[in-house]
Structure 1
Amino acid sequence: MIYLKMLSLADGREIYDMLQEIAANDNGFHNKVYGMTYEQFKEWLDHEHSVDNGNLEDWMVPQTSYWLYDNGKVIGYGRIRHYLNDNLAETSGHIGYAIRQTERNKGYGTKILSLLLEECKKLNIKKVQIGANANNIASNRIIVKNGGFLFRATGNKNFYRIEL
């Protein structure tokens, strides 16, 4: 069974190990945990949990972080921003996600985006914006497969909208 689980302070080694398979800048997805020690990961987890619970710096917007699981194995990481400020609307989007290296090309990217979009509905986000590096063919296809239409393209980034 494939499902999302919200980030928790109880998350441990399996999450850490999965995040070590995702590069620091993986096709536009910024993984701050890559290369950290396990102790540093636990500090990061505490910070992310705090942010997910509304302890935001001035430049941040509310967010929720999730892990993608399949039959009890952690497969990927996703985040939903509850709304976009001007900077995020120009440079990013509501959703970011990444799949661990050993589980790519198995349909998990399509599935995590689909599940994250279901969570967006619960948050009453009607128009979801997602950015993808123009040269990341797989991610662009995943977004289109989930109903995305290209509404803006810059030199190296495509921006899609999905109406919910």
Structure 2
Amino acid sequence: MTGEQCGAVAARLHLRPLSPDDGREIYDMLQQIASNDNGFHNPVCGMSVGEYGEWLRREYGYDTGDLEDWMVPQSSYWLYDGDQPVGYGRLRHRLNAALEAHSGHIGYAIAQPYRGRGYGNAILALLLNEAARLGLKWVQIGANADNARSNRVIRHCGGELIRTDGSKNFYRITLKRGAQA
């Protein structure tokens, strides 16, 4: 599975990696995503602008290898529609036992005002492309069992249900190298 198999991603949609210099437009977008958005953790919701700056530096370190022993490298991305940030995604470069049991490689959320417009399909397609570029052969994604929209997006992008614990569904998407949205 590759991003193009999730459906065409409009040319105006693109991912931009998190930067420690990200500004107020990202902060404002993150205030429109709940702190626990259907299982996606957004620690910036409710933070002050100063705390947000510290969070950006810390989060950037997770991509560059500044990690505690129990953590795995992850990259964070902003989904842009033109010059407007509309979503937030994370891609873990690998899983440890705890993440494999309870989570997955990819998590994402779309800011409240932009939901229901196909951005979920787009961000997942673009994150799958990034995972393929990292050399991953497959990704695991978890979604709350009662979140019909997320489960539908994951299945649309090739997700095969591998297990459920009643409250959470776990999917696997097999990737192809050289993916492009």
1:9 is displaced (CA, Å) by 1.3
SS at match of 1:106: coil
Superposed counterparts of 1:108-127, under 5 Å: 108-127=119-138
| Aligned position for 1:93 | 104
1:3 aligns with 2:14: yes
Give 3-state SS (helix, strand or coil) of 2:108's partner: strand
Compute the displacement of 1:86 (Å). Answer: 0.3
Alpha-carbon distance between aligned partners in 1 of 2:21 and 2:138, rounded to the nearest angstrom: 33
Aligned to 1:17: 28
C-alpha displacement at 1:117, in angstroms? Answer: 0.1
Q: Are 2:70 and 1:59 aligned?
A: yes
Cα-Cα RMSD: 0.5
What amino acid does structure 1 have at the position aligned with 2:161?
L
| CA–CA separation in structure 1 for the residues paired with 2:71 and 2:20 | 21
- Which structure carries more relative contact order (alpha carbon 8 Å, separation 6+)? 2
Query: Residue in 2 aligned with 1:45?
Result: 56
TM-score, normalised by the number of residues in structure 2:
0.90
Shift of 1:51: 1.4
Amino acid at match of 2:124: L
Query: Unmatched 5+ residue regions in structure 1?
Result: none
Q: Distance in 1 between matches of 2:20 and 2:40?
A: 22
- Count of residues in correspondence between the two structures: 164
Letter paired with 1:83: R
Give the superposition deviation at 1:91.
0.2
Displacement after TM superposition at 1:133 (Å): 0.3
1:154 match: 165
The DSSP-based 3-state class of the residue aligned with 1:105 is coil
1-structure distance, mates of 2:20, 2:36: 24
Can you give the 5+ residue segments of structure 2 that lack an aligned partner in the other structure? 1-11, 176-181
**Partners of 1:52 and 1:83 in 2: CA distance:** 12
Q: Which residue of 2 aligns with 1:137?
A: 148
Q: Which runs of 4+ in 1 moved over 4 A?
A: none
Query: Where does residue 78 of structure 1 map in the other structure?
Result: 89
How much has 1:10 moved relative to structure 2? Answer: 1.5
TM-score, normalised with respect to structure 1: 0.99
Q: CA deviation at 1:3?
A: 0.2
In structure 2, distance between residues paired with 1:81 and 1:65: 9
Q: Distance in 2 between matches of 1:51 and 1:160?
A: 24
